[in-house]
Amino acid sequence: MRTIRFVTTDVFTSEPFTGNQLAVCFGAEGLSTETLQAITREFNYSETTFVFEPETPGTTRRVRIFTPGMEVPFAGHPTIGTAHVLVATGEVKPTAEEIAAGEMTVVLGENVGPVPVRVRLDHGVPTWAQLTTAMLPEERVEVRDLDAIAHMLSLEPSDILGGAYAPAGASCGLAFQMIALTSVDAVRRARLRTDAWEQVLGGKWAEWPMVFAMTGGSDEQGLAAHVQGCDIRARVFVPNCGVPEDPATGSANAALAGFLAARTPRDGTLRWEVAQGVEMGRPSRLSIEAHKTGGAIDAIRVGGASVVMADGTMSLR
């Protein structure tokens, strides 16, 4: 009988029972991809990671990331959550110098390549983590029919921004369709019609829609305290991954940082705070940033807090 140890954590939140759930598994060496996929479906979280000894010099651990429907090359909340769990459980220990400095870097070897994660420490305890994407932003315009996109989202064409912010596919390792809406109310009202999605975006390079709207940084009555005052409200739909909607999507938010930075005419570090998962009852807060030099984006980062929730074992017979 084989025993797999797992740790679950809520990611992109400082409050238990909010954010995006993640299972981090240890001891899966030698198991087939099919078995890893079955374990992922057993947890049925939006993603599960499997941690192995490093395969590439300069990396801390090798990590494979699965949704209930497939393995993905990169994802933000599994990267942030896995780095947090590695440090929180003592699987990776900070040095005395790192404890004194209040931060350390964990480098995860993922299918997109090495992904560095800077982990903030409070007396050696992880409190917040920020990844830097292995890939810089890429954009492709695949769909120009705003009427079709609006119908797919159960919205009106007037709810969708056009011009420079017209829908476009964007990726920093995993592609999403960026759809800027005119208001937070439109974000709330969005309902994905899967039959229309199959016709409009199914099979496209960026087939998963991310809808978002600027909030102006205002507080909202009834909104959880840890997501008050965010700059952006967002939702991400991933209908063919076994997770119809995702409560916090670091890879999509990385792409969003690139999308917004490409339309911001200034250099330096650009930052936004994003609230996601509100409509699902799993409010999440993601800190995203892009750095530009000479008009070119040269770094994308996504950060947030995590809360360890459970530690246990799974027996494979």
Active site residues: 47
The secondary structure element, H or E, covering residue 293 is strand 284-293
Handedness of CA 93, 96, 102, 106 (dihedral sign): negative
Residue type, 279: E
Q: Report how far Cα 181 is from the mean position of its chain's Cα atoms.
A: 20
Shortest CA distance to 67 belongs to which of 195, 242, 229?
242
Q: Which two tokens stand for residue 231?
A: 């700059």
Shortest CA distance to 47 belongs to which of 27, 74, 26, 28?
74
Pairing of strands 268-276, 243-246: unpaired
Give strand pairing partners of 66: 48, 71
